[in-house]
Amino acid sequence: MKRIAPGRRGGHFRRPTIESLEVRTLLTAHPLGPTLPGRHYPAPDVKQFVPILYPPGTPQPTAAEIQRESFDFRGIGHYTVGPAGFSQQSIKIHGYGKAGGSNLSHRTYFQFAVIEPSASAPSPVIYGNMSLVGANYLQNSSELIVDFVGPPGSEVHGLPTHLYWISDANQSSSGPFAETGTAFPGRNNFPGNYFNAQGVPVSPLSQGLPPASVNYWGLSLGSVDFRYVPDAHSVKGSLGSGTVIVTMHGLMNNSGAQSQIDKNIN
């Protein structure tokens, strides 16, 4: 009986090949989930934002509340740099991501736009917008919309690497990130009076505002870092392109009462 030679099956010879492996990034969320239903793990370094969102003289959040409000996200995606849309802008950066991980959602997709001001702009502040969609909720009902604000000075090859994020007052988030839809105390003071002219977050008390300027549900504040890895050959028609790694953490106070699929225990 003739022995089948290695690599030969059913009379067909197959050359040995090396299969490529899918690149996986580490999850920010704990793989086994929180120890209690409705809880999530706290984000690092969020206490720095407490005296800004909750200035001295206002009701102070407990340790459990700080953990509940903490938000931590890491994602990787692709970015392109395009020309400015208006005369007071220099460039526009657009990015979108594969499924990233956070302490609230094991899979989160993101898309953002960041504007660099030109030398003729009345303000040097960098600004932008970002949408995050949690994929572990029904369809696309879980959406978090935040704004970017930040000072110049962190640019690497002309691209900003460190900004701050706040809740968007003009666009409504949905699902577990939905606001309550009411007017909160001091809503008109946020976020304008929580940032100085350079785009750095400061306590409203430092600007002579009363402690009552704090507002509860709907407030959020944190920092975001961008790391850019340029392509060897940029996308045709762009001013530059490559891989972007986005890291966010901060405080986000949402009631969760407007989501019928977000079951919390507190």
Spatial distance between the Cα atoms of 243 and 227, rounded to a whole number of angstroms: 8
Residues 6+ positions from 32 with CB-CB distance below 8 Å:
none
Nearest to 52 by CA among 168, 180, 207: 207
Please name every residue paired with 221 in a beta bridge, in sequence order, or none if there are none: 166, 251
Instruction: Tell me the two tokens of residue 222.
Output: 């944190």
For residue 226, give the nearest of 175, 178, 157, 168 by alpha carbon.
157
- Alpha-carbon distance of 134 to 32, in angstroms, equals 18
Helix (H, G, I), strand (E, B) or coil at 195: strand
Contact predicate 118/92, CB 8 Å = no
Determine the Cα–Cα distance for residues 181 and 154; give it in Å rounded to an integer.
36
> Domain limits of the chain?
73-200+207-259
At CA 116, angle to CA 114 and CA 120, rounded to 5? 150
CA angle 182, 71, 208 (to 5 degrees): 60
pLDDT by residue, tens only, the chain of 266 residues: 555 555 555 555 566 665 554 544 444 444 334 444 455 666 678 889 988 888 887 788 888 888 888 888 899 999 999 998 888 989 999 999 977 777 777 778 899 999 999 988 888 899 999 988 876 544 446 778 888 999 999 999 999 999 999 877 655 565 556 665 443 434 444 556 678 888 888 877 777 766 554 556 777 899 999 999 999 999 998 999 999 999 999 998 877 666 555 555 54
DSSP state of 84: -
* pTM of full prediction above 0.85: no
